[in-house]
Amino acid sequence: MQVGTSSEMLFGHNSNVQAGGTTYHVQTEDRGTTNALIDTTVYFNGRVLHRRTNNYFDLLPLSPHREQALKQRLDEQHRAVVEELRTGALHLALPREEKAAPASAKPATASATGVLSLELLNAKTWLTGKRALLQIAVRNEAHQAVGNATVIARVDGAAEATQFSAKTGDFGHAQFEFDMPRLAGAEPALVIEASKGNARGHLRFQLRSKPRVPSAS
């Protein structure tokens, strides 16, 4: 009789928010049970303007029911920050040089510092057995597809270091397919990073290893 493991992933959120003629990027992540933090960061042109962090020590140790409660808290925190930006309840001062930029200034080029938004398009079906299929969309702060961006995927906490790389096409999409490595670390995570010029973006999804119910032998 053997006991296997399956991986469950808690998702973060990435949103581009228009407020007062300015586009902000809002990212919310679960920092894992070691830190037990839900972390929301607001970026403008790659700079951190605001951070909101709440702990969830009261939900530890996580169970399937508590994981749902954690996901709900993460969703609500992300939604609250987005709504506060849109309504003006959360007012953020832009960097001085951004305020002083003349109206005739040229738009930022692809190589300018900025934040890329990543989305896992098949978030609910990316893992079938031990086979992973990642379909990634990369967009800029104007929510436009970013072609020819470098996308890297890796599994932190794997027994053997593995990393995969691909380029996005004209529609800003990249795809990876690989066998999931054996998890050995205390806080394994799927990490997806994208870059083009000086623009960067990343997603980090915590992986949960849970024992399956043993089958009768």
Give per-residue pLDDT as tens, 33-60: 888 889 898 988 778 889 999 999 999 9
Distance CA(169)–CA(119), nearest Å, equals: 15
CATH value of 5-101+110-211 in 1.20.1260.10, 2.40.50.140, 2.60.40.10, 3.10.20.70: 2.60.40.10
Distance CA(105)–CA(128), nearest Å, equals: 49
CA-nearest of 165, 134, 135, 169 to 151 is 165
The pTM assigned to this predicted structure is 0.50
CA distances from 124 to 75, 80, 121, 135, 146 (A): 16, 24, 9, 11, 23
Give per-residue pLDDT as tens, 120-138: 888 878 888 888 888 898 9
Secondary structure element (H or E) that encloses residue 15, with its range: strand 13-19
Q: What are the domain boundaries of the chain?
A: 5-101+110-211
